Structure 1
Amino acid sequence: MKKRKLFGFLLTISLLANLNLTSVASASEASSLIGFRAELKAVAYKTYSFFEDYTDPSTGMTYDEVRITEDGTQEAKRTSPTNIGMYMMSTVSAQQLGILSKEEAVKRIQITLHSLEKLEKWNGLYYNWYNTDDGTVKRDWGQFISQVDNGWLSAGLIVVGQAYEELRGDTSKLVKDMDYTSLYDPEVGQFRGGYDVAKGKLTDHHYGMFYTEPRVASYIAIGKGDVPKEHWWKLYRTMPKEWDWQAQIPQGGNLQYDGVNVFEGNYEYNGVKFVPSWGGSMFEGLMPGLVLKEKELGTKALGLNNKRHVELQIAYAKEKGYPAWGFSPAATPTGYSEFAATPLGTSGYKDGATVTAHATFLALEYAPESVRKNMKTLKKFKMYGKYGFYDSVNVETGELAKAYLALDQGMIMVSIANYVKDGVIRDYFHSDPIGQKPEELLQKEVFSIQ
């Protein structure tokens, strides 16, 4: 990793130059805001150094996971379409934050794009796991084509194409070739989870829940014209009332959008109405907002619901007596597990008293003061290391998962860039026709949580 001796000084100058002091009520508030943005940029600097040190220089593909153990560093030299997409968006973020020059960012991404052009694909879609050293499919991990993972790769390509015009021809071709119709079930109006190439079979299950991370691929597929916009309305806001196995019997009524009847249901927790995700985790709900203008356009639906989920995650931690909040799938000391604020899910995951850093940063644009406090609390657990925040901590035992995951590091990077640079990654995404075309879907919906 290159050393940049003047980074701290230049960081402060950049913050002062970019900050509109007329929008700040007082000098003390201005100072606090500058201080917080400096803290965030310092986190981003360390976080991006993970991508610098653990992205194969010949393929431009980032290792899935790195663990710090007593015996040394364990490196998982595999990667996924999501990891590749997050690496590219993290590199754009790093350039926006002044960590990389534009020339460095473009050079890095060009290597990745060259690999993507050569990787083995199925209908233009990418396998779920590749070896980072040579880009071969990691067949001992199966031959699965994932709808959600391809969606995040498409998102990364779209962002890169808008950030760097010189790369747009390459990124546009790759996205155009990604054929989402091959995973779509027109009879149900939903996507299958994916396709097993070895078995020659689509998954039996569909991605039916709306407030989950696959909605990014849904949005992109609509924007591309691969699937009709009616697909957006065929997803479940909550499961139907008669499905009594779910965590709550939802309240609400039907509304019609584009000729489709939608049950606009809601759950309730601590007297607050919300639309649930599947498990109740932060990344299901808020990860799509890294690229989709849900906060800006979905003021009566997704943006409002994102805010509710942040507030309710904080309330859930308080109710449980935990000193920190932020529940989402994360590394554990021995592996990986799903964690959540259980009541926020249709079939909620357990919380395990385990907090993950990426969940904190996903909440930045909805509760910045709470995020700043939570960052300080996480640091008291000795969660801050060479590459930024370790992946998780058990807030009851203090046990750390001394791991860095490409996905989670990417969520932290893009969240910081969007907060410090006023939604820059979302702006790039929505500058592309694929991002623009479905915007009305975000604007017109009204959740029954007003």
Structure 2
Amino acid sequence: MKRTPKIAVMCAALVAGTLIIAPSATAATGTSKGPATGDPRGDTAVLQSYAVDTWASLDAMTDKKTGLPADKLQGDLSEPSDNTSPTNIGGYLWSVVSARDLGIISKQDAFKRMKSTLKTLERIERHEPSGMFYNWYSPRDGHKLTTWPGSDDPVDPFLSSVDNGWLAASFRIVVEAEPRLARSADALYASMDFGYFHDLEGGANAVNGAGLNRGGFWVTPPPGCSVPGNYGDDGSELYYTCHHYDTSVSEARIVNYLGIANGQIPAEAYYGTLRTMPDQGCDFAWQEQKPTGETREHLGVPVYEGVYEYRGMKLVPAWGGSMFEALMPDLLVPEADWGPQSWAVNHPASVRAQIEHGLDEAGYGYWGFSPASDPFGEYAEYGVEGVGMSADGYASDRERTNVDAGYDGCREAANPNPDFSDGVVTPHASFLALAYDKPAVLSNLAGIKNDLGAYGPGGFYDAVATESGTIAERYLSLDQSMIMAAVANDLLDDRLKDYFVDDTFEAAVRPLVEAQIFGSKLE
């Protein structure tokens, strides 16, 4: 990977290429109080303190020998789970880079950590023809899981498109961030062929060469639904998920970005996903609301540029209305910079929708809704259903309150103005919004920490119910890594994006992002 050198002007001390933000006593102990101070140095100290504590959880959940993080960890930093995924590993790698660049760990410590992880990844079992990694491994020795730890329930080894996307993304970051490991990381990256996930015959736009990505595949027939085939070139029969990733506002768009940049997925695929379902009579009346928009053509692909309306705004919805669907890819890809008529408007609209739902529509007093640990169970999907495409999408409260405003001429409203109850917020969703409303983020996080008490030795606990105060006293590797990336980007002028994007990637992807028009507006 080659990039054009550029000069960054930063109001910070640079020591051997690493930004050192000397934490105050408050930052070091993670006991900062209050919302954004209006003083950039005070805000910096608060975010630095969050990063210091968040890193403590990632450090505690990572096996020192293999360099693989556990999927989750108890709130007292004990009992890491005996399972991990490609996304967890990818998030850990960019968290190591972030911790190094923030001055939390030394350059040599970061090097040793990344080297251990890459060495493990070079030896563990994967699907060799595609170069893809299986979805579950033991962090203790890296073996592929075929039974679930603790229950011995069978695991059918699966290769996920989006999980492999996040791992591959981390390899790109390591190549640029640590030259001593560039050869190893680049070799792993180059071995991964995302064309194995891309179905040229999938989706309404397939006739135009767009196609869609499958959720993933198995190498042996799994129980339940699967579709035999092989989109690669090795001649074996694989068994694909019966679903495609067919929506634009989805964390899965990272797969198209990588595959297109690598020449493994056609550029037209960027326009093959749906902004909303089209407005075609009652054919799609199952979606949350009737969209408005118009059809435009990009690279010969007709695209219905549909939007939803929410509290005076217009935006392209995610499937479930969650923050990480909307904003996780923006941690690494400069979507808002490249898409002035799309992501530059849609991202802040998605953030505002979350804020207005939490503070005004539902009245929780807090906001930030995304899949996370369930304070009342194990895991649950949370979101703002009004900006989710699915009519029974991700709810924002414990009771899973359904919003149903009807569909003009097709479906009567069943619950247009519901009463929300015990809302569940997750801190990582707030951190994802840092680039779009930093004062609101810092104020919200201060309340979650100081008023709701959802903070421990590893930073923010994964989720908290706002009315009952019930806390999910766990740390999830994925969510902690999103926090590290968001803080690093904020304090280091989008440095993770700089690591991730090289000249080849920008040349392939930026024109596609620049050309699209969403019809989103903030008011």
TM-score, with structure 2 as normaliser: 0.79
User: Which residue in the other structure is 1:241 paired with?
Assistant: 279
Structure 2 CA distance for aligned equivalents of residues 386 and 111 of structure 1: 25
Structure 1 CA distance for aligned equivalents of residues 463 and 503 of structure 2: 35
Q: Residue 11 in 1 paired to residue 53 in 2?
A: no
CA deviations on 1:346-384 (whole Å, 9 max, x unpaired) are 012111110001001000010000011101110111111
User: Which residue in the other structure is 2:389 paired with?
Assistant: 346
What SS is found at the alignment partner of 1:76? coil
User: Which residue in the other structure is 2:64 paired with?
Assistant: 57
CA deviations on 1:182-231 (whole Å, 9 max, x unpaired) are 11101120011110223141011111011000001110010011111000
Query: C-alpha displacement at 1:12, in angstroms?
Result: 5.6
Structure 2 CA distance for aligned equivalents of residues 346 and 108 of structure 1: 40
Query: C-alpha displacement at 1:255, in angstroms?
Result: 1.1
What SS is found at the alignment partner of 2:425? strand
Runs of 4 or more off by more than 2 Å in structure 1?
Answer: 8-13, 72-75, 431-437
User: Which residue in the other structure is 1:213 paired with?
Assistant: 251
Structure 2 CA distance for aligned equivalents of residues 52 and 433 of structure 1: 33
User: Which residue in the other structure is 1:22 paired with?
Assistant: none
Q: Residue 98 in 1 paired to residue 103 in 2?
A: yes
Q: 1:208 to 1:112 in 2, by over 3 A?
A: same
User: Which residue in the other structure is 2:15 paired with?
Assistant: none
Structure 2 CA distance for aligned equivalents of residues 119 and 290 of structure 1: 28
User: Which residue in the other structure is 1:24 paired with?
Assistant: none
CA deviations on 1:285-331 (whole Å, 9 max, x unpaired) are 00010101012111211231111000010001121111110000010
Query: C-alpha displacement at 1:106, in angstroms?
Result: 1.3
Flag structure 2 segments of 5+ consecutive residues without an equivalent.
Answer: 1-19, 28-35, 148-154, 203-210, 222-237, 398-422
What SS is found at the alignment partner of 2:314? strand
Q: 1:59 to 1:343 in 2, by over 3 A?
A: same
Q: Do 1:430 and 1:436's aligned partners in 2 also have CA atoms closer than 8 Å?
A: no
Q: Do 2:75 and 2:461's aligned partners in 1 also have CA atoms closer than 8 Å?
A: no
1:35-434 superposed matches below 5 A: 35-68=42-75, 73-122=78-127, 123-140=130-147, 141-188=155-202, 189-199=211-221, 200-242=238-280, 243-318=284-359, 319-333=361-375, 334-347=377-390, 348-352=393-397, 353-379=423-449, 380-431=451-502, 433-434=504-505
**After the TM superposition, which of the residue ranges 201-210 and 235-244 deviates more from structure 2?**
235-244
User: Which residue in the other structure is 1:3 paired with?
Assistant: none
Q: Do 2:336 and 2:342's aligned partners in 1 also have CA atoms closer than 8 Å?
A: no
For 2:115, the aligned partner's letter is Q
Query: C-alpha displacement at 1:406, in angstroms?
Result: 0.2
Structure 1 CA distance for aligned equivalents of residues 381 and 346 of structure 2: 21
Q: 1:185 to 1:250 in 2, by over 3 A?
A: same
Structure 2 CA distance for aligned equivalents of residues 245 and 375 of structure 1: 35
Structure 2 CA distance for aligned equivalents of residues 303 and 429 of structure 1: 19
Q: Do 1:195 and 1:202's aligned partners in 2 also have CA atoms closer than 8 Å?
A: yes
Structure 2 CA distance for aligned equivalents of residues 73 and 292 of structure 1: 34
TM-score, with structure 1 as normaliser: 0.92
Q: Do 1:68 and 1:74's aligned partners in 2 also have CA atoms closer than 8 Å?
A: no
Query: C-alpha displacement at 1:436, in angstroms?
Result: 4.7
What SS is found at the alignment partner of 1:181? helix
What number of residue pairs does the alignment pair up?
A: 428
Structure 1 CA distance for aligned equivalents of residues 448 and 60 of structure 2: 24
Q: Do 1:240 and 1:263's aligned partners in 2 also have CA atoms closer than 8 Å?
A: yes
Structure 2 CA distance for aligned equivalents of residues 62 and 103 of structure 1: 19
What percentage of aligned pairs have identical amino acids? 39
Structure 2 CA distance for aligned equivalents of residues 349 and 58 of structure 1: 38
Structure 2 CA distance for aligned equivalents of residues 68 and 10 of structure 1: 27
Q: 1:439 aligns with which of 507, 510, 513?
A: 510
CA RMSD of aligned residues (A): 1.9
